[in-house]
Amino acid sequence: MASLDLAPRILPPGLLAARRAPRILERKLLVYRRLWVHFITGFFEPVFYLLSIRVGIGKLVGNVHFHGHELSYATFVAPALLASSAMNGAVFDSTFGVFFNLKYAKTYDAILATPLGVEDVALGEIAWALLRGLMYATAFLVVMAALGLVKSYAAILALPGATLIGFAFGAVGMAGTSYMRSWLDFEFVNLSILPLFLFSATFYPLSTYPRALQILVQCTPLYQGVAVERALTTGTVGPDIVIHVAYLVAMGLIGFRVASRRMHTLLQP
């Protein structure tokens, strides 16, 4: 009973109120059933990156030393691309899709005319974003395994890890979208995503950066996801994984709380 009493203090209040959020998820599945081509295109970009590294760049770079293990370059980069795939799937759905429904299609106004509430909308959209990221990550992990780039049975936990990455970025993406006024503001999304993709120890070990830059990289959200996925797929799990997971959980909960409040302001003035 004590744990139940503590739940409202730990979780954002809106998270407990969103009991009908699965209806939003059901609607998304029905919509994307007709847009499956658009959906699967998000899977191919990281796969093409991985194949180019596997057959080309990886042979030039050679092996990488990581936590006392010698890994092929493709094995080192693959989990980072897995984390990036989960991030991209979550971010672009929780930003472009939400903005269109909010500002142009007025989908949420119609939804709120039903018994669903603002919290249901917020949690449902974030749930779809993390589900999309999870589906991309699952397909990508299968490709990794087929190419022999998975070195530990703990890699199965990379899928919950990808879900957590999707939750964190989906929630923050939706919160940020609620402040956008026009399509021009989406330049800030690309301006944020690209540096994260390139400089979150995605393609190089953290030790290659100057110390000041190492500290900066370690504070970025995608680095947390890359560290989790890389540890799980290479079998180098250490106690620091708890810090990375806690960071992503806190990021997701804060993002959801902000998104829920902003949606209340925008949809129920």
Among all chains, which residue has been given the structure tokens 């940020």?
Answer: 176
State mean pLDDT over 165-185. 88
State mean pLDDT over 197-206. 88
Give me the pLDDT at residue 144, please: 87
Give me the pLDDT at residue 113, please: 83
Q: Which domain holds residue 253?
A: 13-267
Range 121-132 burial, b when 16+ CB lie within 10 A, else e: bbbbbbbbbbbb
Q: Please tell me which of 134-138, 139-143, 248-252, 258-262 the model is most confident about, judged by mean pLDDT.
A: 248-252
Q: Does 66 have pLDDT greater than 50?
A: yes
The burial class, CB within 10 Å (0-12 / 13-18 / 19+), for 39 is middle
Cβ neighbours of residue 229 closer than 8 Å, sequence gap 6 or more: 79, 80, 82, 83, 158, 161, 162, 165
Q: What percent of the chain has pLDDT over 70?
A: 87
Lowest mean pLDDT among 64-68, 163-167, 199-203, 209-213: 64-68
With cut-offs at 50, 70 and 90, classify the pLDDT of residue 246: very high
Per the domain annotation, does 4 fall within a domain? Answer: no
Per the domain annotation, does 3 fall within a domain? Answer: no
The pTM for the full model equals: 0.84
Nearest residue to 206 (alpha-carbon basis) of 190, 191, 224, 194? 224
Q: Does 103 have pLDDT greater than 90?
A: no
Give me the pLDDT at residue 19, please: 62
Between 37 and 240, name the one with better pLDDT.
240
Give me the pLDDT at residue 37, please: 64
Helix/strand/coil for 63: strand
CA distance 25 to 215: 38
DSSP labels, 78-95: HHHHHHHHHHHHHHHIII
Between 70 and 172, name the one with better pLDDT.
172
The burial class, CB within 10 Å (0-12 / 13-18 / 19+), for 53 is buried
Q: What is the mean pLDDT of the chain?
A: 81
State mean pLDDT over 203-221. 89
Per the domain annotation, does 173 fall within a domain? Answer: yes
Give me the pLDDT at residue 8, please: 45
With cut-offs at 50, 70 and 90, classify the pLDDT of residue 6: very low
Give me the pLDDT at residue 29, please: 75
With cut-offs at 50, 70 and 90, classify the pLDDT of residue 139: confident
Number of folded domains that form the chain:
1
Give me the pLDDT at residue 182, please: 85
Per the domain annotation, does 7 fall within a domain? Answer: no
Per the domain annotation, does 112 fall within a domain? Answer: yes
Give me the pLDDT at residue 17, please: 47
Per the domain annotation, does 108 fall within a domain? Answer: yes
Nearest residue to 172 (alpha-carbon basis) of 235, 113, 110, 130? 130
Q: Does 101 have pLDDT greater than 70?
A: yes
Q: Does 100 have pLDDT greater than 80?
A: yes
